[in-house]
Amino acid sequence: MRIAISLDDEVLRRGFAERLGREHRVFLPAGGDALRRLAMAGGLDIAIVRVLSDELFWPDTLRNLAAAAPALAMVGVIETNRPSLDEAVELAREIPRMGFVSRPDARFDYLARRRLPSDRAPTYTQSLLEAVHSLPLASVGRDFALLQAVRPSLAFDIPEQAAALGASRRKLERWFQGPDICSARRLQSVCAAAEAIYLRLVHHVPEREIAGVIGLLSSDGVPNPIGVAREIRAVFGGYRDSIREGGTMAVAEAVHAELRRAHDAVRPPVRWDPATRYWPEESVLAVRQEGRLVLVDPARQVEQPLDEFGEDAWEQMVQGATFAKLAAELAAKRREARNRTRIRLKEWLGELLVLGLIRREQGSANAAEGA
């Protein structure tokens, strides 16, 4: 095959070239113009490109390349920083056939192959991005979730990924302490298992290759095909019948449900004292957008729309109501059982606490601790 490697890092470029082997014809275009000329001349089957570049119009180059050469397979090399992740998200939405890797590994082997313009997307990235975007995450929690969506893999452990994102494991996992969200480890497993199901259902990829793509490795570092079915069962075992009948649409529904499954639903990470009060953080604004009340923190670029329950709760909360008073007044206003209101209120407050949109003021010595 004819393959172009357009990477600034010489060590990384050499690593991908060595992974490809000598049986392919490899080009090393210097910049977007050279890459475009190669592709337009019909001289390429695969382009291995950097996601983030110093070239001003690099994203436009990749989009134009994808539109002009629909048979060209594209592999994006991402870095573990916010600009690179954000650019990868945009490219994934606009170029469905583009897959993403961090290093030359078995996932790269799968993506670096000739494809037809009519082929479906090689990975489940677009659906995973839609799912993780619905989670109440920001800062390093958001970055971690995006990383799992664009490059689902079990080969990277949590501390390693947290350090690559510039945070400690503890800081990362604090973002996954809300009562309505899974743990960081669970999110990684859900994304990897969803990718495995997609490769099996849509592209009929063999189990050994799937194991390599999702980084499911044995103790000696080789793909573990026996573990693929086990990993899928561990995450989606309860959805087996619906997935068999509904295919990838049912997988998407299962992913959304599992990402919203609290890792300790019986004992949420917040202790709720009746006398505790909740206040908006100083930088948070409540604005109307298209008829809905939206909480906005401009400095952190965090937005959280409120539903009808949230608007009712917000109105009482900003008046300084304690948790006990909030639960009582909301139950009376909404004419619902007090117990149901308390459960919903805990979920709502917990989500806003995790997002950093509100803070707690202790009303007694044993008031709620940090989320």
CATH of the domain at 326: 1.10.10
Which residue type is seen at 312?
A: D
Q: Would you say residue 81 lies in a domain?
A: yes
Residues 248 and 135 in one domain: yes
Q: Would you say residue 267 lies in a domain?
A: no
Asked if residue 15 has pLDDT above 50, the reply is yes
Structural domain for 288, as ranges: 277-361
The predicted model gives 39-65 an average pLDDT of 87
Asked if residue 223 has pLDDT above 80, the reply is yes
The predicted model gives 209-216 an average pLDDT of 95
Cα(102)–Cα(107) distance, integer angstroms: 9
Q: Would you say residue 370 lies in a domain?
A: no
- Predicted confidence band at 262 (pLDDT cuts at 50, 70, 90)? low
Residue 83: how many other CB atoms lie within 10 Å: 10
Residues 290 and 353 in one domain: yes
Asked if residue 294 has pLDDT above 60, the reply is yes
Domain boundary among 259, 289, 305: 259
pLDDT digits (tens, 9 = 90+) for 85-112: 999 999 999 999 999 999 999 999 999 9
Residues 253 and 300 in one domain: no
Residues 230 and 127 in one domain: yes
Residues 8 and 135 in one domain: yes
Chain-wide mean pLDDT for the chain? 87
Q: What tokens were used for 8?
A: 């600034």
- Predicted confidence band at 326 (pLDDT cuts at 50, 70, 90)? very high
Domain boundary among 228, 259, 290: 259
For residue 264, what pLDDT is reported?
52
pLDDT digits (tens, 9 = 90+) for 55-86: 888 989 999 988 888 888 999 999 988 899 99
Residues 15 and 73 in one domain: yes
The CATH number linked to 190 is 3.40.50.2300
Residues 212 and 285 in one domain: no
CA 362 to chain centre: 34
For residue 220, what pLDDT is reported?
85
**Per the structure, how many domains does the chain have?**
2
Residues 236 and 296 in one domain: no
For residue 44, what pLDDT is reported?
87
Cα(146)–Cα(167) distance, integer angstroms: 15
